[in-house]
Structure formats: structure tokens, C-alpha cells
């Protein structure tokens, strides 16, 4: 059994991680920390876990965490980097669901996140945890930077085109929509029912923190700078991401065949039949990304539709997928849930 700990499990990502790990046949969930909720039982805060988790939240204690085989960080940005070096020194493997280790350049990280990085020497070692791109490196990693939700949906949509150099990498567009759970569990006016319901709005058009992460991922494949216009939107649903991606083809190609062949062996990427349209509800509470490929009017613009659950494939599910790889387990273990409808 893998002895697992979670640091900061009181948000939506944290409770999703709890839900998955409590049901995982090879995981012994040993500790979950929260300064604000220390002493409170997990099932008291999250009644859906009653009977599934008998742990209580505790204060973060490195000495306790170092007894784990793996520690997940479901914390705000800037927290994991203060504790990870000690855990790695103790032989603990780490999956960070926040952004502390996603960017390779410390100066760029500071630009986007507003604070100096506490352990820039680890940025080069951290493996970006997109299994469909970095599976073999993840297997051997001590430290995995779990991708963001938007970057997961966007990267999986663009990857086949970028890998085969079939599109102009300087003219990529990602028009993305997310449910309000992507904003976190903290109280804010913008997430109130009266504010978010019956409304849709773009935000961070001038620059979102996920923009450099997406560019870095695509540039690692194509080897040259990528020009990406990335516009996120908030939609009146709880969970889910829908990304509509646009690119200009540089040469003719059978795009349906390209995507089907690229993802044929990927357990959590589902390429729909030609002419299909994806829906966020078809991935709700599952670890799947579903894709549909279009070439409107047969012209040189390709449109890729990509949907994920932002809390599962976009966060906790992908983290468990990475853990499975790191410990030599079947990649799909504990992640076989079918999407819930309605």
C-alpha cells in the first residue's frame, strides 16, 4: 500500500482528491492537513465522505509528512515550495496540484505569481505531469508539477497538430470556458449565485497565469516560440471546461485519422467520431478528456473542441494518474468512474 498525505485538503480540488484516494485500492490515506480546520473531522467538513474517510485535519508537520510515500499539495500557490525540499530530502515523492513547479523559469514564475520562488533549483527537476506527453519521465520523477485545468484541455487539443507541425504555431487561439468551481472554494462576490448565474463573461484577457504554462508545454514540443491568444470565460455551471481551439493549417492532412492514431492508446483521451460535438456533461466527475475535430467548410482553419472536468482530469484525477505512474501501478487504477448524467 502507498502511504499518502495531503497538504491543504479543504478546497474543491482537495475534496476531489480525497474522494479518489479514499476509494483507491492501493492507497492508505494517512494524513490530511489544514491549519484552519485542524482537529475537525474530514466528514464534518465534507459530508459526502462520511463512512469513507475517518481522518481528522491536522496542523502541517514535516516530521509527520516525511513518513508518507507520497504527499499531494492541494494548497494555494506559493505554499508547496516552502515544504517540498525537506520532503524530497527525506525520500518522499511529491505531486503539487498548485503552480509552484509548473514553470521552468524562476523569473517568469515571479512575474506571473508575484513572489520570489523559494527553491528555484528544483524547477528544472520537476516533471510536468501531463501523462500523454511525459509519461516515461513521470514514472521516474521525485517531483511532479500537476498541470492546470485550462492547460490540460488546451494542450491535449493542440498536441497532435503541433507534434506533426501541421499548423502555424504563431497563430493559435484558445477560447475557453470554465465552471465556477475553477475559482476555488473561497468566498468571493464573483462566485455568488446571483452574480454567476445566467451570465457569462471573459476575464484576464490581457494575460492569465495559465498562458505561460500552455506556451511552455507547446514550445517544448515544437522547439520554437508559440504565439497563443488565450481567453478564459466564466460560465454559469459548477464544474467543467470547454475549450474551442483554432489553428491555421500549413498543409492538407486527414485530421480525424491524426487524432485517432495519436490518442489510440491513451486511456483517458477519447476522440469522438467525425462531425461530433463534445459536451462538458459527458466528462463530469470523470478523468476523461473528450475531443472533436472540425475543418469548417473544408478551409485551412482547424477547430478542435476539448472538454474535461476541471476538478478531475484538470486537477485531482490527473494527480492520481501521475501517482499511479510514479509507483508502477496500472495508470487507470482508481480512476475508472463513468461520467455522471444528468
Average pLDDT over residues 256-263: 98
38 Cα distance to chain centroid: 27
Per-residue pLDDT tens over the stretch 12-71 = 999 999 999 999 999 999 999 999 899 999 999 999 999 999 999 999 999 999 999 999
Question: Alpha helix (H) ranges present in the chain?
Answer: 12-22, 42-45, 62-65, 80-89, 106-113, 131-139, 149-163, 193-196, 210-222, 255-262, 317-326
- 35 neighbors 60 (Cβ within 8 angstroms): yes
Q: Which CATH class is domain 150-310?
A: alpha beta
Q: Supply the angle between the helices 149-163 and 255-262 in degrees, to the nearest 10.
A: 120
Average pLDDT over residues 218-239: 96
Q: What pLDDT sits at residue 188?
A: 80
Q: What does the alpha-carbon distance between residue 6 and residue 17 come to, in Å, rounded to a whole number?
A: 9
> Tell me, what DSSP letter sits at residue 206?
T
- 254 neighbors 274 (Cβ within 8 angstroms): no
- 285 neighbors 309 (Cβ within 8 angstroms): yes
State the virtual CA torsion across 15, 19, 24, 29 in degrees, nearest 10.
Answer: 50
Q: What does the alpha-carbon distance between residue 218 and residue 255 come to, in Å, rounded to a whole number?
A: 18
Q: What pLDDT sits at residue 19?
A: 96
Active-site residue numbers? 149
Q: What pLDDT sits at residue 202?
A: 96
Q: Where are the domains of the chain?
A: 2-125, 150-310
Report the percent of the chain where pLDDT is more than 70: 100
- 118 neighbors 82 (Cβ within 8 angstroms): yes
- 294 neighbors 303 (Cβ within 8 angstroms): yes
Q: What does the alpha-carbon distance between residue 256 and residue 248 come to, in Å, rounded to a whole number?
A: 16
Please give the CATH number for the structural domain made up of 2-125: 3.40.50.720
- Reported pTM: 0.96
Q: What does the alpha-carbon distance between residue 131 and residue 137 come to, in Å, rounded to a whole number?
A: 9
| Residues whose CB is less than 8 angstroms from the CB of residue 127 and which lie 6 or more positions away in sequence, other chains included | 134, 137, 138, 141, 143, 144, 145
Other C-beta atoms closer than 10 Å to the C-beta of 250 total: 14
Average pLDDT over residues 261-277: 98
State the virtual CA torsion across 117, 68, 288, 296 in degrees, nearest 10.
Answer: 20
> Residue 186: pLDDT above 80?
no
Q: What pLDDT sits at residue 182?
A: 86
Q: What pLDDT sits at residue 194?
A: 84
Q: What pLDDT sits at residue 193?
A: 81
Q: What does the alpha-carbon distance between residue 66 and residue 294 come to, in Å, rounded to a whole number?
A: 49
Max CA pair span of the chain = 61
Q: Which residue has the cell 504563431?
A: 170
Per-residue pLDDT tens over the stretch 125-178 = 999 999 999 999 999 999 999 999 999 999 999 999 999 999 999 999 999 999
> Residue 187: pLDDT above 80?
no
Average pLDDT, the chain: 96
Q: What pLDDT sits at residue 189?
A: 86
Amino acid at each position: 500500500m502507498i502511504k499518502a498525505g495531503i497538504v491543504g485538503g479543504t478546497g474543491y480540488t482537495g475534496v476531489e482528491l480525497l474522494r479518489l484516494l479514499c476509494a483507491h485500492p492501493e492507497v492508505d490515506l494517512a494524513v490530511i492537513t489544514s491549519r484552519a480546520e485542524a482537529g475537525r473531522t474530514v466528514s464534518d467538513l465534507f459530508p459526502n465522505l462520511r463512512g469513507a474517510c475517518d481522518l481528522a485535519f491536522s496542523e502541517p508537520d514535516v516530521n509527520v509528512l516525511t513518513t508518507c510515500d507520497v504527499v499531494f499539495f492541494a494548497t494555494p500557490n506559493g505554499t508547496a515550495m516552502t515544504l517540498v525540499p525537506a520532503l524530497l530530502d527525506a525520500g518522499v515523492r511529491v505531486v503539487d496540484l498548485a503552480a509552484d513547479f509548473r514553470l521552468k523559469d524562476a523569473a517568469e514564475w515571479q512575474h506571473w505569481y508575484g513572489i520570489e520562488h523559494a527553491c528555484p533549483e528544483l524547477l528544472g527537476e520537476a516533471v510536468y505531469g501531463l501523462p500523454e506527453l511525459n509519461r516515461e519521465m513521470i514514472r521516474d520523477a521525485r517531483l511532479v508539477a500537476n498541470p492546470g485545468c485550462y492547460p490540460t484541455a488546451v494542450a491535449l487539443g493542440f498536441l497532435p497538430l503541433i507534434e506533426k507541425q501541421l499548423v502555424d504555431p504563431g497563430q493559435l487561439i484558445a477560447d475557453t470556458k470554465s465552471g465556477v468551481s475553477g475559482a476555488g472554494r473561497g468566498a468571493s462576490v464573483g462566485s455568488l449565485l446571483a452574480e454567476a448565474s445566467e451570465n457569462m463573461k471573459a476575464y484576464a484577457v490581457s494575460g492569465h497565469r495559465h498562458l505561460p504554462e500552455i506556451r511552455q508545454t507547446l514550445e517544448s514540443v515544437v522547439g520554437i516560440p508559440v504565439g497563443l491568444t488565450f481567453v478564459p470565460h466564466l460560465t454559469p455551471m459548477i464544474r467543467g471546461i470547454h475549450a474551442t481551439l483554432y489553428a491555421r493549417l500549413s498543409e492538407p492532412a486527414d485530421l480525424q485519422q491524426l487524432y485517432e492514431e495519436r490518442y489510440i492508446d491513451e486511456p483517458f483521451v477519447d476522440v469522438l467520431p467525425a462531425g461530433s460535438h463534445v459536451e462538458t456533461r459527458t466528462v463530469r466527475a470523470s478523468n476523461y478528456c473528450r475531443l472533436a475535430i472540425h475543418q469548417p467548410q473544408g478551409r485551412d482553419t482547424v477547430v478542435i473542441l476539448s472538454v474535461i472536468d476541471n476538478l478531475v482530469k484538470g486537477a485531482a484525477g490527473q494527480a492520481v494518474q501521475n501517482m499511479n505512474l510514479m509507483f508502477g501501478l496500472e495508470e487507470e487504477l482508481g480512476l475508472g468512474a463513468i461520467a455522471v448524467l444528468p
